[in-house]
Structure 1
Amino acid sequence: MFGFPTLALLDGLALGSFEWLEHAVETTTGWVGLAIIFAYSFLIAFALPGVSEVVLAAPLDLGLTQAERLTLIILVSAVGKAAGSVFAFHIGQEAKESGPVIRFLRRSRFDVVEWSENKTLQLARKWGYVGMALALSVPFFPDTLSIYAFAVLEEDYVKFALATFAGSVGRLLVTIFLVGSTVAFL
């Protein structure tokens, strides 16, 4: 009725952890699929492991041309990721105020804080929010760590959300270009 494959979603729920949501993105059709893409993109910005490019595989049947469908998917995904990044930004702001969280992360086997601070500081010092957008434009690399690293260092919610939006759009466009180039050479 709504273009929402209920059986596919139920099959996906049998999968582990958050795989069901990725499965829903890959199998849902119709306008409800855009809500699922938004939710997936929102969650991938701060909680889900994995990559956001899976939204491009959503088989949405919306009566649009391929270009219009991809444009809509990219915009909905970028808005979702920008909204999720603002949530991550808030968590990052709280974490940098929390001494115990930072001490725990510094004592972990792999010093996530030091590594992310070093790489992020290099980008932030040189390019600022443009550096963040560029870092988030790299396809097939989980961007949750980058979002949190920038969240701890930066202080402007609006610029942070705009950089995440731009990076998300860039990432999906680069992915389309890479996949299209690869298919053209086969």
Structure 2
Amino acid sequence: MALLTTIFQVLQSGLLEALEVAVETATGPAGLVIIAVYSFLIAIVLPLPSEVVLAAPLNLGLGEWGTLGIIMLVSGLGKAAGSVVALKIGNEAKEYGPITRALQRSRFDVVAWSERRTVEIARKWGYVGLALALCVPFFPDTLSIYAFTVLEEDYPKFAVATFVGSVGRLLVTLALIGLGIDIAAESGDLLQ
């Protein structure tokens, strides 16, 4: 937990904005490392949209779709790795966290209620539910990931579901962008 506290302190020092700018201006192969680190941190602590990785002007010489494919792969792998760390943190927090103990002693057992609700969702939808939750553009990844850590303990399945959901989100975002461009083009045609 000391590591998590340190990460939060560093992010509050202005590094958060610098990291987002680094992703938006990342070029070449080094940009892939920035995207991987950004995606890793999004899974654990960053309250930023993961879709920003699609704007990285990498220019890898693979054409637009090749570059987007590599970005999605690297981002998905980074977020999957981060989700494993988040799962570890979530599992430790529910067992040892002082906040969890205080909530359990409170008049209303918020922890038990949230665990029941999350267990219901996870039992009904399982890893598919996690992947689908992560496909929603501009919704914070950390919320979905930590919500599912309450029940889950299978690290490989958790990582795969996070990877699928992360790539799915970027594909949905690209589809929405494409739809917006098509609508704008059609409305421009109508005006002429």
TM-score by length of 2: 0.81
The AA in structure 2 aligned to 1:19 is: E
1:137 maps to which residue?
Answer: 135
2:118 maps to which residue?
Answer: 120
Q: Which has the higher helix share?
A: 2
Between Structure 1 and Structure 2, how many residues are aligned?
A: 171
- Please report how far the alpha carbon of residue 39 of structure 1 lies from its aligned counterpart in structure 2 after TM superposition: 0.2
Q: Which runs of 5+ in 2 are unaligned?
A: 1-12, 185-192
2:153 maps to which residue?
Answer: 155
- Is 1:74 equivalent to 2:72 in the alignment? yes
Identity over aligned residues, as a percent? 67
Q: 1:115 to 1:69 in 2, by over 3 A?
A: farther
Match among 172, 180, 183 for residue 181 of structure 2: 183
Q: Which runs of 5+ in 1 are unaligned?
A: 1-14
CA offset digits 1:39-93 (Å, max 9, x no partner): 0000000011111000000001111111100000000000000000000010011
CA contact (8 A) 2:39 2:78 kept: yes
- Aligned-residue RMSD, C-alpha: 2.4
Query: Residues 2-151 of structure 1: matches in 2 within 5 Å?
Result: 16-98=14-96, 100-104=98-102, 117=115, 120-151=118-149
Q: Structure 2 CA distance, aligned partners of 1:112 and 1:43?
A: 27
TM-score by length of 1: 0.83
Q: Which has the larger radius of gyration?
A: 2
Q: 1:146 to 1:104 in 2, by over 3 A?
A: farther
Q: 1:130 to 1:72 in 2, by over 3 A?
A: same
Q: 1:66 to 1:89 in 2, by over 3 A?
A: same
CA contact (8 A) 1:120 1:146 kept: no
CA contact (8 A) 1:123 1:132 kept: no
CA contact (8 A) 1:116 1:145 kept: no
Q: Structure 2 CA distance, aligned partners of 1:99 and 1:26?
A: 36
Q: Structure 2 CA distance, aligned partners of 1:151 and 1:158?
A: 13
Q: Structure 2 CA distance, aligned partners of 1:119 and 1:98?
A: 21
Q: Structure 1 CA distance, aligned partners of 2:105 and 2:166?
A: 32
CA contact (8 A) 2:104 2:111 kept: yes
Q: Structure 2 CA distance, aligned partners of 1:55 and 1:115?
A: 36
Q: 1:141 to 1:119 in 2, by over 3 A?
A: farther
Q: Structure 2 CA distance, aligned partners of 1:136 and 1:154?
A: 16
The AA in structure 1 aligned to 2:125 is: W
SS state at 2:137 partner: coil
CA offset digits 1:124-168 (Å, max 9, x no partner): 121111111111111100010111111121110000000000100
